[in-house]
Amino acid sequence: MAVILKIIKKITNNSMQAPIQNFSMPSWMNALLKTFTAFSTHINIKIFIAKLIMNYPEPFIPYSNSWYIPLVKFIASGEEFNDGFTYYIEVHI
């Protein structure tokens, strides 16, 4: 997880220096979204992508309109997986 977060930070620091004029999602983020929403993607991969977003939400905020519904559907379907699923969506205060 740490290595992938560093890669995302490096990519976003290099590409998001200027204000966003084009609201099209970057190709790497679009690939993550397609993987996340694919029916055939294993639950562990979906959990990993959700944790990436939770651990570093800043680059995803400008594209929240694309991510909101898939994430809410994923969280709402948590009871289909098992009781341990809620561990991944707990809010630690």
pLDDT value, residue 24:
84
Q: Is 70 in contact with 33 (CB distance < 8 Å)?
A: yes
How long is the chain?
93
Tokens read off for 71 = 């994430």
Tokens read off for 48 = 């990993």
Q: What are 40-54's pLDDT values in tens digits? A: 999 889 988 998 998
Query: What is the DSSP secondary-structure string of 3-53?
Result: HHHHHHHHHHHHH-SSPP---SPPHHHHHHHHHHH-TTS-HHHHHHHHHHH
40 to each of 26, 45, 55, 81, how far by Cα in Å? 23, 10, 24, 15
Examine the pLDDT at 15 and tell me if it is beyond 70. Answer: no
Q: What are 71-80's pLDDT values in tens digits? A: 999 888 876 6
Q: Where are the domains of the chain?
A: 2-7+26-89
